[in-house]
Structure 1
Amino acid sequence: MRHETDDAAFRQALGHFASGVTVVTTIVDGLDHAMTASAFTSVSLDPPLVLVCSHHTSRFNDAVLESGHWGVSILAESGRKASAWLARRGRPLEGQLDDVPHHRAGNGVALLDESLAWLECTTTQAVDAGDHTILIGEVTAAAVRDQEDAPLLYYRSHYGTIVRSGESEKTIYEGGA
Structure 2
Amino acid sequence: MTPADAPDAAAVPQEDYRAALAHLPGGVVVLATRAHGRDHAMVVTSLVSFSLEPPTVLVSLHLDSRLAPLIGEGRTWAASIVAPGAEGAVAWLTEPGRPDLGQLQGVAHVRGERTGAAIVTPSAAWVECETERVIEHHDHAVVLGRVLAAGRGQGTGALLHRLGRVRAIGEATRGTAT
Q: Report % sequence identity.
A: 37
Gaps of 5+ in 2: 1-5
Is 6-15 or 148-157 further displaced after alignment?
A: 148-157
Q: Tell me by how many angstroms 1:67 deviates.
A: 6.6
Q: Tell me by how many angstroms 1:112 deviates.
A: 0.5
Counterpart of 2:175 in structure 1 is 165
Query: 1:62 and 1:27 mapped to 2: Cα distance?
Result: 12
Equivalent pair of 1:31/1:93 in contact (CA under 8 Å):
no
Structure 1 segment 10-89 matched on structure 2, within 5 A = 10-65=17-72, 68-89=75-96
Equivalent pair of 2:111/2:119 in contact (CA under 8 Å):
yes
- Could you state the TM-score of these two structures normalised by the residue count of structure 1? 0.88
AA matched with 2:175:
S
CA RMSD of aligned residues (A): 1.6
Query: 1:142 and 1:6 mapped to 2: Cα distance?
Result: 39
Q: Tell me by how many angstroms 1:65 deviates.
A: 2.1
Residues 141 and 5 (structure 1), Cα distance of their counterparts in 2 relative to 1, 3 Å cut = same
Counterpart of 2:99 in structure 1 is 92
Equivalent pair of 2:58/2:143 in contact (CA under 8 Å):
yes
Residue by residue, what CA displacement relative to the aligned partner does 1:145-169 show, whole Å, maximum 9, x if unpaired?
A: 2x53221111100111222239xxx
Counterpart of 1:174 in structure 2 is none
Query: 2:74 and 2:53 mapped to 1: Cα distance?
Result: 24
AA matched with 1:51:
L
Query: 2:140 and 2:84 mapped to 1: Cα distance?
Result: 27
Query: 2:122 and 2:68 mapped to 1: Cα distance?
Result: 24
More helix by share: 1
How many correspondences in the alignment?
165
Query: 1:124 and 1:67 mapped to 2: Cα distance?
Result: 6
Equivalent pair of 2:111/2:118 in contact (CA under 8 Å):
yes
Gaps of 5+ in 1: 167-177
Q: Is 1:114 aligned to residue 119 of structure 2?
A: no
